[in-house]
Amino acid sequence: MAVWACRSRRKSGTACAVLLIAAILAAVPSAPAALRNIVIDPGHGGLDVGAKGKFGSHEKDVTLAVSLKLKTLIEKTMSCRVIMTRDKDFDVSLENRAAVANNNNAQLFISIHANGSVRNKAHGAETFFMNVNASDEETRKLAYLENTSGELDKRIPDEAQDEVKMILWDMAQTAYVRQSQRLAEMIQEEINAALKIENRGIKQAGFKVLQGVACPAVLVEIAFISNAEEERKLNDEYFQNHVAEALHRGLVRYLKLFPQK
């Protein structure tokens, strides 16, 4: 019984992923070629408040404030369409955030967060790109996919299809890791130049929200909300504007370097 329940849960997840992939495939041809789409993902929202500060601030509020400022800056200065995964205080699943990017044929995905640590002293900004922590089995399947990409549908028997597509969806970001790293470097450089907070550099980690994104994607931890001094800064409008400007400069630099997706 327990075994069966476990399997059926996996199946529904697979079906969901197949639907999402179908949606992506449908969306690709209709997207206008010239206008670039940038997806901004304000971390958390709704019941998911994210990390909490000692003075009561919630990560979800800070991330939304900075995201909205970044949106305004991009729309003012660039010929880009900005899509927000949320523009108010509500829940969005991590999978749906990636789906927003893929369904809109995004050229860039930037997820904005504020960090939290059990160490009171932890402070500074860092930019993450995805760590590919694939198991042996997943690696084997990815290798199989790469070798058969053209004839995928013909060569994989029906019953194996769902699972292969699930892996493909789970691992969509693997194809963009190198570009994501460049984007992370440029954003982190701009943050370092603009903010007088410690440079924690670029890092890799297994962020769920980045895994399924099929374009260059980064996650920025602006500062530590768990650090009293940085919690105060995060709530300061001047600091928020400063961060948004730095993120904006990073995006502009990256898009100049890679005009096409």
Partner 1 sequence: MPKSTRAVLIPILAVAVVGLAVFFFLSDNRESIKKARPGAGPTAEEGTSPADSRPKRTVNLLFLRDESDALIPEAREIVADPSSPAFEAREILGELLKGSQSGLLSTVPPETKLIQVYITKDGTAYVDFSREFADRHPSGSNAEIATIYAVVDSLAYNLKSVKKVCLLVDGEERETLAGHIAINHPILPDFSMIAAD
Q: Which of 8, 77, 120, 147 binds partner 1 (CB under 8 A)?
A: 120
Contacting partner 1 within 6-35 (CB under 8 A):
6-7, 10
Cα–Cα distance for residue pair 25/136, rounded to 1 Å: 28
CB of 52 to partner 1, least distance (A): 7
Q: Does 240 bind partner 1 (CB under 8 A)?
A: no
Place of tokens 């400022």: 69
Q: Applying CB under 8 A, which part among 72-80, 188-196, 216-224, 229-237 lies near partner 1?
A: 216-224
Q: For the stretch 51-84, what's the b/e string if a residue is b when 16 or more beta carbons lie within 10 angstroms of its beta carbon?
A: bebeeebbbbbbbbbbbbbbbebbeeeeebbbbb
Q: Does 174 bind partner 1 (CB under 8 A)?
A: no
Collapse the DSSP code of 221 into the 3-class scheme (helix H, G, I; strand E, B; otherwise coil) and give the result.
Answer: strand
By a kind-dependent CB cut-off of 5 to 8 A, residue 219 interacts, out of partner 1, Zn ion, none, with: partner 1
Q: Does 57 bind partner 1 (CB under 8 A)?
A: no
CB of 107 to partner 1, least distance (A): 24
Please choose, from the candidates 249, 253, 195, 251, the residue with its C-alpha nearest in 3D space to the C-alpha of residue 222: 195
Place of tokens 């044929």: 105
Contacting partner 1 within 133-172 (CB under 8 A):
133, 135, 138
Radius of gyration of the chain (CA): 19
Interface with partner 1: number of residues (CB under 8 A): 39
Place of tokens 């105060």: 232
Q: Which of 224, 233, 244, 251 binds partner 1 (CB under 8 A)?
A: 224
CB of 189 to partner 1, least distance (A): 20
> Of 94 and 108, which has the nearer Cβ to Zn ion?
94
Cα–Cα distance for residue pair 36/107, rounded to 1 Å: 6
Cα–Cα distance for residue pair 22/107, rounded to 1 Å: 19
Enumerate binding residues for partner 1 (CB under 8 A): 1-3, 5-7, 10, 43-44, 48, 50-52, 59, 94, 113, 115-122, 128, 133, 135, 138, 205-209, 211, 219, 221, 224-226
